[in-house]
């Protein structure tokens, strides 16, 4: 099949998904007062967002944007870039007071320049009242000093992605829910010749997700409830010792893996399990390569095990959207975000990307994308279960800086690679975190 015919096939799949049954079946919604913003005369917007990992995401987002332009006359220029580059480009725009009007970024990035973000409290309150409320984690990510500085467009929820046949061949019916059992499964997979592989490079989504999980699961955290750096602890040492044992079961090379590497290794049949968004399943399900497409039937998803802390400790990767105060068209920008988060557009977008985007608004749990295929369902609950990356303290400029500096990921990688002991790595992470938290 030629590249152009493959693109046509994927577009057909996305279009079919967008028109699938259930998209127009709205849940019972709240009835807040109607809210619309009248765009300024001759308004035009520039949006900076992540480059898509699944084609349906981009296809549906662009289609919804065209609908917005048709209805309002406001043209929207969209620049899509590598997700890891958004923070740098957005920070530059914030500092010079020029650039994109709206940014769709990651984690707590808007907290780094909260005073330069337009207040969207009215819009957040309207959407929350209409669509069942925001998850608590959304408020932590997107509010500062009592005002909403961003809107949670959604979450790139991650789950364990695994080959069911290989897990069964290793002696397990499903993924163990305890840490010891999970480690034994990973050892068995390696013994059978197709190991697990989790990213340990500067992978914003994949590495950050499981590295935060492993320390939180053991009761460790970067900061405590008073925002005091607390990473140099007995719990952290125990967590790092576990992470080192887990790393020994991985395929070689994960220390340099970025976000795309585990996707490629899984699709190539090199690993039996990884930690990722639903994009691997999407790739297999929509592939025109018979060998890759056949993988879809064997793929299953599960949440990470629960550690001694006794509850889920997952880090879903949020995608906040914020409007810079330097925009010349604040009403147009607010109206664009309102439009894109309303049911007709948002449910269609989720459906087209097979659930790649998990909602921030509770009403979207009822989107049929989560039940039309049982393999989608685990991703539905990612944002509901998630802790924020500033746990157990407050989100703000310090937490955002620590996240951007990959302090937790580097700590785990140093121990996994054998370049540092758990105690030395924890002490080094403490020093690095203090540079940001003690300066506040």
What residues does each domain of the chain span?
30-157+316-385, 159-315+405-437
Burial annotation 129-146 (CB, 10 A radius, 16+ → b, else e): ebbbbbbebbbbbbbbee
**CA dist., res. 382 & res. 83, Å (int):** 20
Q: How confident is the model at residue 23 (pLDDT cuts 50, 70, 90)?
A: low
Task: Tell me if 277 sits within 8 A of 53, measured CB to CB.
Answer: yes
At 4 the pLDDT is 45
Kindly compute the dihedral angle of the four CA atoms of residues 63, 68, 74, 79, in this order, to the nearest 10 degrees. -40
At 439 the pLDDT is 81
φ, ψ (nearest 5 deg) of residue 276: -160, 165
Q: How confident is the model at residue 130 (pLDDT cuts 50, 70, 90)?
A: very high
Strands (E), 1-43: none
The region that residue 204 occupies, defined by phi over 0 for left and psi between -120 and 50 for alpha, beta otherwise, is alpha
pLDDT 10s digits, 68-82? 999 999 999 999 998
Closest CA to 132 of 353, 307, 362, 358: 362
* Cβ-Cβ contacts under 8 Å for 152 (sequence gap 6 or more): 134, 135, 138, 141, 142, 318, 319, 320, 360, 361, 383
**CA dist., res. 232 & res. 230, Å (int):** 6
pLDDT > 90: percent of the chain: 89
Kindly compute the dihedral angle of the four CA atoms of residues 419, 186, 314, 324, in this order, to the nearest 10 degrees. 60
**What is the average pLDDT value for the chain, to the nearest integer?**
93
**CA dist., res. 199 & res. 266, Å (int):** 12
**CA dist., res. 137 & res. 390, Å (int):** 11
Domain 159-315+405-437 in the same topology as domain 30-157+316-385: yes
Please state which CATH number belongs to domain 30-157+316-385: 3.40.190.10
pLDDT reading at 363 higher than 70: yes
- pTM for the model: 0.90
Three-class secondary structure assignment of 395-415: CCHHHHHHHHCCHHHHHHHHH
Please state which CATH number belongs to domain 159-315+405-437: 3.40.190.10
Question: What's the gap between Cα 295 and its chain centre?
Answer: 24
Of residues 283 and 439, the one with the higher pLDDT is 283
**CA dist., res. 346 & res. 115, Å (int):** 28
For the chain, what is the largest distance between any 2 Cα atoms, rounded to a whole number of angstroms?
66
**CA dist., res. 52 & res. 378, Å (int):** 21
* Cβ-Cβ contacts under 8 Å for 260 (sequence gap 6 or more): none
Identify how many contiguous H helices and E strands the chain contains and give both numbers: 19, 10
What's the rounded mean pLDDT across residues 263-287? 96
pLDDT reading at 3 higher than 70: no
pLDDT reading at 423 higher than 70: yes
Task: Tell me if 303 sits within 8 A of 158, measured CB to CB.
Answer: no
pLDDT 10s digits, 38-56? 999 999 999 999 998 889 9
Tokens representing 64 are 């919804």
């Amino acid at each position: 099949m030629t590249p152009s015919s493959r693109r046509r096939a994927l577009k057909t799949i996305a279009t079919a998904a967008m028109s699938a049954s259930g998209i127009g079946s709205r849940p019972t919604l709240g009835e807040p007062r109607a809210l619309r913003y009248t765009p300024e005369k001759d308004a035009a917007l520039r949006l900076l967002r992540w480059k898509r990992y699944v084609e349906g995401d981009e296809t549906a987002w662009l289609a919804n944007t065209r609908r917005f332009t048709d209805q309002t006359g406001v043209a929207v220029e969209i620049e899509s870039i590598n997700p890891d580059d958004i923070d740098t480009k957005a920070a530059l725009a914030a500092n010079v007071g020029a650039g994109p009007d709206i940014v769709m970024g990651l984690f707590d990035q808007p907290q780094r320049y909260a005073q330069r973000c337009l207040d969207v409290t009215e819009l957040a309150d309207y959407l929350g009242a209409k669509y069942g409320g925001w998850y608590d984690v959304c408020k932590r990510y997107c509010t500062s000093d009592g005002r909403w500085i961003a809107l949670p467009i959604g979450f790139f929820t991650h789950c364990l992605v695994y080959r069911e046949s290989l897990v069964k061949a290793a002696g397990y019916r499903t993924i163990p829910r305890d840490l010891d059992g999970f480690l034994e499964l990973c050892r068995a997979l390696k013994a059978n010749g197709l190991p697990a592989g989790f990213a340990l490079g500067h992978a914003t989504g994949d590495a950050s997700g499981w590295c935060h999980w492993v320390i939180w699961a053991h009761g460790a955290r970067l900061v405590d409830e008073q925002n005091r750096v607390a990473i140099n602890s007995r719990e952290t040492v125990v967590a790092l010792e576990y992470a080192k044992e887990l790393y020994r079961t991985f395929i070689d090379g994960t220390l340099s893996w970025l976000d795309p590497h585990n996707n490629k290794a899984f699709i190539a049949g090199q690993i039996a399990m990884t930690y990722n968004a639903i994009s691997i399943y999407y790739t297999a399900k929509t592939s025109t390569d018979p060998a890759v497409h056949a993988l879809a039937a064997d793929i299953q998803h599960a949440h990470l095990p629960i550690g001694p802390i006794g509850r889920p400790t997952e880090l879903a990767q949020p995608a906040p959207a914020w409007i810079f105060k330097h925009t010349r068209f604040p009403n147009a920008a607010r109206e664009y975000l309102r439009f894109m988060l309303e049911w007709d557009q948002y449910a269609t977008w989720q459906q087209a990307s097979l659930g790649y985007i998990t909602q921030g608004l509770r009403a979207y749990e009822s989107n049929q994308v989560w039940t039309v295929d049982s393999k989608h369902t685990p991703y539905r609950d990612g944002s509901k279960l998630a802790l924020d990356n500033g746990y157990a303290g407050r989100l703000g400029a310090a937490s955002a800086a620590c996240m951007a500096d990959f302090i937790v990921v580097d700590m785990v990688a140093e121990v996994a690679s054998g370049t540092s002991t758990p105690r030395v790595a924890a002490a080094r992470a403490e020093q690095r975190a203090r540079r940001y938290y003690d300066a506040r």
